[in-house]
Chain A
């Protein structure tokens, strides 16, 4: 007890000290409409809090989230709100969700939550909803309409009929490369809710959608995929400025499909390989994406981190705060009509660690 308390305090201190030199303390303000409407928010995701036994949790994953929370609290200017992008837990247990909630409670903000498959498939989101509320909802903030989707649903048969126990169902969905898994989807019921929700919104209003899985199809084998992505995209299409922010992939990705910009966020727990590094995969990483650096396993926080998002253009400008690496900034380029990396987009400026194989 004393042990874990003092360890936590130390880590908080260590995280804070490291943060001072790396946070984007001076934001580049772009001249847009009404500066009073400018705002930022923080995005933390994929912490995968994993229970061992008793009050023991995997230390490595705990540390990733503790650090994100400590650094987010240091942000100046203060963000208007904080999002958590899903996969708070590893196997969806009460212990994991409680412990994750306890670590998130150290935030100076009450985070808005997105459902991940690791939170869901044990009890189909029941305990998560008790702690955090609705699984899909929308809200408005300073002229931007935000929508949160539960995009990790799947076929009823897979969910309700196939597995002898909820524990097995959770394990089958938790293993990323498991051929017994099932593709994610938003589903008809939620799409109908989304259609109605968007009906009331002026088409010039900037729209930001938060989902756990990408609302685009990248690689089905690891569920870097949402099966009804095209149907959801069709609902977002009438809006001039639309952005989808998603977790799940534990890596830098960004893309532009029609008028919809896509941005993925990092995990605080661990990075994932790009699908192109699986030799047997038929994958479609967006060509726009300049990958994150290959991770160095000798630094356990390498290629993990969290995001600071500037909304002053009504579009996402995303600072990736990378714990053991040079930070990255990916922002919407209005002239080109797509997101781009502020340092590395030009192929001539790419560096060797960005090559994954």
Chain B
């Protein structure tokens, strides 16, 4: 049964390869590809920066950037890590949500919300070059 499935799957891949051309390999990305990936990433970073500066993210007009210029003092390289007040090891996004709910008096974002991903992307970009330090307080 499962062998049959594999044979069928193999057949589909072989057909796909013939249709799209034999020169294509999944791991052979080009410089253009890499540039495009980087541009995609930077556009999300830009969106994240805007969210960090936005008075509309919470309910009281306060923006993250008021206390975290350039997302400083957020240490994304230290996550996941133990947060004493939450009593467990948490992800960076959970601390974003904590600040969103408290100083910004807002609603938490879903952990896969593109806005939350963008905010993480921005904070991480501002920390580029800093060594990973998981767990560091």
The proximity string for B residues 106-132 relative to A, scoring 1 for CB distances below 8 Å and 0 otherwise, is: 000000000000000000001111100
The proximity string for A residues 315-332 relative to B, scoring 1 for CB distances below 8 Å and 0 otherwise, is: 000000000000000000
- Chain A residues contacting B126 (CB-CB under 8 Å) are 278-280
The proximity string for B residues 39-65 relative to A, scoring 1 for CB distances below 8 Å and 0 otherwise, is: 000000000000001000000111101
Please tell me if the beta carbons of A273 and B61 are within 8 angstroms of each other in the complex.
Answer: no
Is B82 an interface position by the 8 A CB rule? no
Bound-state Cα–Cα, A51 to B72, Å: 25
Please tell me if the beta carbons of B103 and A175 are within 8 angstroms of each other in the complex.
Answer: no
Smallest CB separation, A304 vs chain B (Å) = 11
The verdict on A177 contacting B65 (CB below 8 Å), with A52-B60, A60-B103, A280-B126 known, is yes
- Chain B residues contacting A281 (CB-CB under 8 Å) are 70
Bound-state Cα–Cα, A348 to B28, Å: 55
Is B66 an interface position by the 8 A CB rule? yes
Bound-state Cα–Cα, A281 to B72, Å: 10
Is A297 an interface position by the 8 A CB rule? yes
Please tell me if the beta carbons of A280 and B75 are within 8 angstroms of each other in the complex.
Answer: no
- Chain B residues contacting A277 (CB-CB under 8 Å) are 72-73
Please tell me if the beta carbons of B129 and A300 are within 8 angstroms of each other in the complex.
Answer: no
Bound-state Cα–Cα, A271 to B66, Å: 10
Chain A residues 235-250 with CB under 8 Å of chain B are none
Of B60, B99, B126, most A-chain CB atoms within 10 Å: B60
Bound-state Cα–Cα, A272 to B66, Å: 9
Please tell me if the beta carbons of A177 and B69 are within 8 angstroms of each other in the complex.
Answer: yes
Bound-state Cα–Cα, A294 to B68, Å: 13
Nearest A residue (CB) for B130: A279
- Chain B residues contacting A296 (CB-CB under 8 Å) are 85
The proximity string for A residues 278-295 relative to B, scoring 1 for CB distances below 8 Å and 0 otherwise, is: 111100000000000011
